[in-house]
């Protein structure tokens, strides 16, 4: 065991554990191994890594509430003119990095020279690189490779559009950010402008193209390195110190043999993905993809996979089946002993029947065996009859369980004016308005059969007053007004209420314009949606509300008035079901259209209308941006020109921040909120009436609104996040809707 000195100026930081003072800088190791205050600002906590040209530290910035950053020290092993040249190159690269503003590229905060060494201060990405992920989970599946390409290719396109090259793409330099599962491209120490002149040779053996190794890298060189990254993660073959023994690259022929490796190990991938990867890996530059858009075009037909933000917590294997359609195959799997017992007894009976057909009068030698067979057949007949009865009972129970499942629906909201009081009709949704799910469709929401609303716990509609704020690009308040809206209260008991706010009907353009969503095609095309009135919970469901209905509290951040977190899509549906049974009216998860319409809260859409008829809204219901005083999110990164804020690192109590114009709170940040739709990659052919959209990816659902850990870009009204339905994450919560019907 060695003692590591955290003084970045120390030339020999490794020390034997018998030393009391550092052999490199002479300082007390009992102090410098625990932390080191550098430049009276950066508290160095630990070493993250070390390479040929530098060392990386995890630091806390004392000037910004001890916020975590990364300090990179550039180590130059030369003197004189070469050192001065290295310094100039370092400064130029730092200036280039300072111009990069992309959510999947770490931000740079400072660069400076200290004691003849060069330093960069960058954003700290909490997560793990793909090497660590590979070591934990093993080789990547085809779906994960597709997801990797779809995540990283737009980042490369962003660089290449600015005439920049990364030059060191490999699994070590791609990190999966923990809070949202996004892939982040890191280590821009080799970033370079595209040039026809021969540049400094920077590359990693086993990942670099021939033109890069000869000093003439091009955008297609980054594409090549990304292709190599994919096949190495697919095969698990990583380059050793010598490239000659690479099992997936034949250096004598300069050809990749990764497909032979997969075939030898009986690993199958689609021809489409093979074609894409092979074209990325072409030896000759002219045969390779010339730009990122060509690859994205070829990937369009592929389904998307996203790594869960966090592994499901205590999720039983049977839970998804709880919501799946009944089928005989799953029943046989669940009742294996009964199935084999039935088959065995049937077999004995069949043998007995065949015996008497073949030997009606048995010869002497068969008498003893015949008696044994008779007894066996009699017992088997009894077993068969009992098994048959059990099968019938099991099937009947299954059908009863699944009967409500068939009524799970994406409900069309009612075309009715706002009532003066909450209806007392037996059902808020009629059977004719229920859209049955198709076999390909996913888990729609369950409609609980209720006899009649419990008037004792549901109040009439009342008005409440609230203050609405609007801000400019600097986050300064430019409008402040009082407003009011209607709501009704559900008394859950123990002085715990659920407030449901009336959302007036109207139409809006769903999705983001190009100038807002950058390259996020999943938020497009913008399309007009017309909705009728519905009610939505004023706040995300709180832990107090959850506890009284569900009798437990799974949340990471405990607090009665904090939103419940660590709930899956299925957990949210179960809450709606139990609440509906208790109250006597049906509650649901909102559709994506309902959620975005409620979040935007556009009272006067005409002022947003463009010449082409499209309405362009601000990205947040507060206006052009948000700030730390308006929402709970990671405000260490800005969206427009607002001041950098704090990072609270946990949820806050609901209602702590100002509401939108409908009187809904916490629509930006705090917790991601589940919607009832299947996941769809774009809005092509999306419904125009605001109903829940099924017939998509039934293993994932969209989440909206961002969370306490999300940067402002991910808290916009239009942001959609694709999350596995069984994911229980400390970032996940939900709110509910009630689609009311006028009393008849």
| Residue 415 pLDDT > 50 | no
- Report the greatest alpha carbon distance in the chain: 111
pLDDT in tens, 436-449: 333 333 445 655 55
**pLDDT of res. 215:** 85
- Of the pLDDT bands very low, low, confident and very high (cuts 50, 70, 90), residue 392 is confident
Backbone angles phi, psi at 165, to 5 degrees: -120, 145
> Own/partner pairs for 395-401, CB < 8 Å, 24+ apart?
395/331, 398/326, 398/331, 399/326, 401/326
The H or E element containing residue 481 is strand 477-493
- Of the pLDDT bands very low, low, confident and very high (cuts 50, 70, 90), residue 514 is confident
Lowest mean pLDDT among 93-107, 163-177, 306-320: 306-320
**pLDDT of res. 416:** 33
**pLDDT of res. 590:** 97
| Residue 639 pLDDT > 60 | yes
Lowest mean pLDDT among 131-140, 593-602, 610-619, 671-680: 610-619
Angle at 60 between CA 55 and CA 61, to 5 degrees: 110
- Of the pLDDT bands very low, low, confident and very high (cuts 50, 70, 90), residue 518 is low
The Cα 249–Cα 228 span in angstroms is: 10
- Of the pLDDT bands very low, low, confident and very high (cuts 50, 70, 90), residue 431 is very low
| Residue 458 pLDDT > 60 | yes
Tokens 């209720």 correspond to 450
The Cα 44–Cα 496 span in angstroms is: 47
pLDDT in tens, 242-278: 445 789 998 888 899 999 999 988 888 998 999 999 9
Tokens 């859209």 correspond to 435
What is the model's pTM? 0.51
**pLDDT of res. 454:** 73
- Of the pLDDT bands very low, low, confident and very high (cuts 50, 70, 90), residue 705 is very high
- Distances in Å between the alpha carbon of 156 and those of 438, 656, 714? 39, 40, 20
Q: Which of 726, 681, 732 is nearest to 699 (CA)?
A: 726
| Residue 400 pLDDT > 60 | no
**pLDDT of res. 481:** 93
The Cα 674–Cα 613 span in angstroms is: 31
| Residue 306 pLDDT > 50 | no
Lowest mean pLDDT among 173-177, 351-355, 722-726: 351-355
Tokens 């004189």 correspond to 80
**pLDDT of res. 742:** 41
Tokens 């730092």 correspond to 94
Percent of the chain exceeding pLDDT 90 equals 51
pLDDT in tens, 16-28: 888 899 998 999 9
| Residue 419 pLDDT > 50 | no
| Residue 326 pLDDT > 90 | no
Domain range list for the chain: 35-123, 127-298, 324-405, 449-738
449-738: which CATH topology? 3.90.1580
User: Which residues have C-beta within 8 Å of that of residue 708, sequence separation ≥ 6?
Assistant: 632, 633, 634, 648, 649, 650, 651, 652, 669, 670, 671, 731
Rounded mean pLDDT, 373-380: 74
The architecture that CATH gives domain 35-123 is 2-Layer Sandwich (3.30)
| Residue 216 pLDDT > 90 | no
**pLDDT of res. 420:** 41
**pLDDT of res. 360:** 64
What is the overall mean pLDDT for the chain? 82
Rounded mean pLDDT, 46-66: 83
The H or E element containing residue 395 is helix 367-406
**pLDDT of res. 606:** 84
| Residue 89 pLDDT > 80 | no
Helix 219-235 and helix 130-137, axial crossing angle in degrees, nearest 10: 20
**pLDDT of res. 436:** 31
The Cα 42–Cα 8 span in angstroms is: 11
The Cα 409–Cα 443 span in angstroms is: 9
- Of the pLDDT bands very low, low, confident and very high (cuts 50, 70, 90), residue 695 is very high
The Cα 507–Cα 596 span in angstroms is: 11
**pLDDT of res. 368:** 58
Burial 193-211, CB ≥16 within 10 A → b, else e: eeeeeebeebbbebbbbeb
**pLDDT of res. 404:** 40
**pLDDT of res. 738:** 95
127-298 CATH: 1.10.510.10
> Own/partner pairs for 38-43, CB < 8 Å, 24+ apart?
38/7, 38/8, 38/71, 39/112, 39/114, 42/69, 42/71, 42/121
* Residues belonging to the chain: 744
| Residue 323 pLDDT > 60 | no
- Of the pLDDT bands very low, low, confident and very high (cuts 50, 70, 90), residue 740 is confident
Q: Which of 181, 193, 211 is nearest to 93 (CA)?
A: 193
- Of the pLDDT bands very low, low, confident and very high (cuts 50, 70, 90), residue 5 is very high
Rounded mean pLDDT, 680-687: 95
pLDDT in tens, 468-488: 999 999 999 999 999 999 999
Query: CA neighbours within 13 Å on the CB side: how many for 121?
Result: 18
- Of the pLDDT bands very low, low, confident and very high (cuts 50, 70, 90), residue 426 is very low
Lowest mean pLDDT among 142-151, 248-257, 544-553: 248-257
- What residues act catalytically? 168
**pLDDT of res. 276:** 95
43 contacts 35 by C-beta, under 8 angstroms: yes
**pLDDT of res. 664:** 98
Peptide bond into 525 cis (omega under 30): yes
DSSP string across 653-691: -TTSS---TTS----SBSSEEE-SSPB-SS-TT--SS--
The Cα 460–Cα 438 span in angstroms is: 38
| Residue 30 pLDDT > 80 | yes
């Amino acid at each position: 065991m060695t003692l590591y000195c955290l003084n970045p100026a120390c030339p020999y930081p490794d020390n034997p554990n018998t030393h009391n003072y550092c052999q490199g800088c002479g300082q007390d190791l009992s102090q410098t191994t625990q932390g080191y205050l550098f430049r009276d600002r950066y508290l160095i906590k630990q070493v993250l890594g070390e390479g040929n040209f530098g060392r990386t530290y995890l630091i806390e910035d004392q000037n910004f509430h001890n916020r975590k950053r990364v300090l990179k020290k550039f180590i130059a092993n030369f003197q004189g003119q070469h050192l001065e040249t290295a310094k100039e190159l370092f400064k130029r690269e730092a200036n280039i990095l300072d111009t990069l503003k992309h959510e999947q590229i770490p931000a740079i905060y400072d660069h400076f020279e200290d004691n003849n060494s060069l330093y960069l201060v960058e954003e700290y990405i909490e997560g793990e690189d793909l090497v660590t992920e590979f070591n934990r989970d093993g080789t990547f599946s085809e779906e994960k490779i597709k997801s990797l390409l779809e995540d990283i290719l737009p980042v490369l396109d962003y660089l290449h559009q600015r005439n920049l090259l990364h030059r060191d793409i490999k699994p070590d330099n791609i990190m999966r950010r923990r809070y949202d599962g996004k892939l982040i491209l890191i280590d821009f120490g080799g970033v370079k402008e595209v040039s026809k002149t021969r540049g400094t040779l920077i590359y990693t053996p086993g990942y670099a193209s021939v033109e890069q190794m000869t000093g003439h890298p091009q955008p297609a060189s980054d594409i090549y390195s990304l292709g190599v990254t994919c096949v190495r993660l697919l095969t698990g073959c990583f380059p050793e110190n010598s490239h000659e023994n690479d099992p997936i690259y034949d250096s004598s022929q300069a050809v990749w043999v990764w497909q032979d490796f997969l075939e030898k190990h009986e690993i199958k991938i689609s021809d489409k993905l093979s074609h894409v990867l092979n074209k990325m890996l072409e030896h000759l530059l002219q045969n390779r993809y010339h730009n990122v858009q060509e690859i994205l075009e070829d990937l369009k037909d592929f389904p998307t996979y996203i790594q869960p933000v966090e592994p499901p917590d205590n999720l039983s294997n049977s839970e998804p089946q709880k919501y799946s359609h009944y089928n005989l195959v799953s029943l046989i799997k669940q009742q294996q002993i009964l199935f084999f017992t039935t088959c065995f007894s049937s077999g004995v009976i069949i043998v007995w029947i065949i015996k008497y057909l073949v030997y009606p009068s048995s010869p002497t030698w068969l008498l003893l065996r015949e008696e044994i067979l008779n007894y066996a057949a009699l017992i088997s007949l009894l077993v068969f009859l009992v098994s048959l009865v059990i099968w019938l009972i099991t099937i009947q129970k299954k059908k009863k369980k699944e009967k409500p499942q068939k009524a799970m629906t994406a409900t069309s909201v009612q075309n009715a004016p706002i009532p003066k009081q909450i209806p007392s009709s037996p059902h808020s949704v009629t059977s004719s308005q229920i859209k049955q799910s198709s076999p390909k469709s996913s888990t729609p929401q369950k409609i609980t059969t209720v006899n009649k609303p419990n008037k004792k716990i549901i109040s009439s509609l009342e008005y409440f007053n609230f203050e609405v704020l609007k801000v400019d690009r600097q986050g300064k308040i430019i409008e402040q007004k009082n407003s009011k809206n209607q709501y009704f209260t559900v008394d859950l008991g123990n002085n715990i209420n659920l407030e449901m706010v009336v959302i007036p009907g109207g139409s809006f353009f769903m999705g983001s314009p190009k100038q807002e969503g950058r390259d996020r095609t999943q938020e497009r095309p913008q399309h007009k949606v017309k909705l009728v009135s519905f009610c939505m919970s004023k706040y995300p469901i709180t832990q107090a509300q959850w506890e009284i209905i569900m009798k437990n509290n799974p949340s990471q951040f405990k607090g009665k008035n904090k939103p419940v977190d660590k709930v899956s899509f299925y957990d949210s549906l179960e809450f709606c079901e139990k609440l509906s049974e208790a109250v006597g009216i049906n509650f649901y998860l909102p559709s994506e259209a309902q959620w975005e319409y409620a979040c935007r809260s556009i009272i006067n859409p005409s002022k947003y209308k463009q010449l082409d008829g499209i309405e362009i809204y601000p990205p947040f219901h507060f206006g052009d941006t948000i700030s730390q005083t308006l929402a709970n999110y990671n405000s260490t990164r800005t969206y427009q020109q607002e001041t950098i804020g704090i990072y609270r690192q946990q949820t806050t109590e609901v209602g702590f921040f100002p509401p939108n114009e409908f009187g809904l709170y916490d629509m930006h940040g705090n917790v991601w909120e589940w919607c009832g739709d299947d996941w769809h990659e774009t809005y092509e052919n999306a419904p125009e009436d605001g109903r829940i959209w099924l017939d998509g990816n039934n293993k994932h659902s969209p989440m909206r609104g961002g969370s306490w850990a999300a940067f402002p870009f991910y808290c916009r009204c239009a942001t959609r996040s694709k999350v596995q339905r069984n994911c229980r994450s400390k970032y996940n919560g939900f709110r509910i809707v009630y689609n009311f019907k006028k009393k008849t």
